[in-house]
Structure 1
């Protein structure tokens, strides 16, 4: 990775959310630049449903990333330890890293069963 720029933290899918408590909680999702870099260096590629269904959260941060070879991507990093990268060639890649160390307002709500994993 060469650069990580334009980081916006504490964002929510606010146009979908009517719950002010969730919006307030998502504003507490403030991963550091160091945590974001660690995430992208350790994350593994996963199927899209892991991001959109299994570990869905409305809390995210976004930015731009550029690699040493000059290619780049826009990214959304979610508080659940998942991310989506929109590459400059139009391809979308989904990532997951279990061992994240930031505050996750929606922890213990993930998983496809009735009880969230914690």
Structure 2
């Protein structure tokens, strides 16, 4: 979720409402979108060697883009946002096993915050934007 919020702020568009709970800023809309993208990634990455299979990779890109558009992220068409999200997806998948020893759930509490991810560990904070 951190990445989606940062990308939103970088491109200066509204998406969801940030709220503070126990000193932690949460954006439920970004969190839900991150979960949807993760489901797509999990499905496509179940194919053996999906990063080297161009057909599977192209379908993943299309599915993620459709998911983003259906969920209004970003509200106005912006190819750069789609490219950045896909770079993040591919970066995570390419480095998950080498960095962490094995794949882990993006939502697991044991996920290190230094890992570039689409979502944040529960309890992590991000600067507030109204």
TM-score greater than 0.5 by the shorter chain: no
TM-score, normalisation: structure 1: 0.30
TM-score, normalisation: structure 2: 0.28
Higher relative contact order (CA 8 A, sep 6+): 2
Structure with greater strand share of residues: 1
